[in-house]
Amino acid sequence: MKIKFFAVGGTIDKVYFDALSKYEVGESNIDDILKNARVNFEYDISSILKKDSLEMTDKDRLAIRQAVQNEPNNKVIITHGTDTMIETAKVLGTVKDKVIVLTGAMEPAKFKSSDAIFNLGAAVAAVQTLSNGVYLAISGRIFTPENVRKNRILKLFEEKI
């Protein structure tokens, strides 16, 4: 079994630049997380974008969709910013014959208090067990793009009511 990971940016990959006194999207943390977890599966990682999801455009979402569509592997995980993850998941809904799982984090993966490692682990389990479709693995749950919303106050994802 092989899993394809696409990094597109977001808080999960943000790093702090002291000289600038701000956070910016840096290199993907996926490989470090997987190596430290001692995973027992093959994987490949590609970076499509390095953007905060609030800066993503429709063109960016189409580029993500095209990369996923062209990927020969049918198990795909996308690390994505949480603010517009749902919108991207909806664009991916037309991709057929793949299990696509989006995940991200409320704090950068480099932070001890980050949910990034847990969310990535949930995404790995989800992509291996779910049927073809598009899902979000975040906040300890698996959602579809149609049944989820981000609760910015509680800093978690929950079922849409």
Active site residues: 11
Give me the sign of the Cα torsion angle 151, 13, 22, 48.
negative
Do the Cβ atoms of 149 and 160 come closer than 8 Å?
yes
Selection from 131, 141, 120, 106 nearest residue 77 by Cα:
120
Rounded CA-CA distance 61/81 in Å is: 12
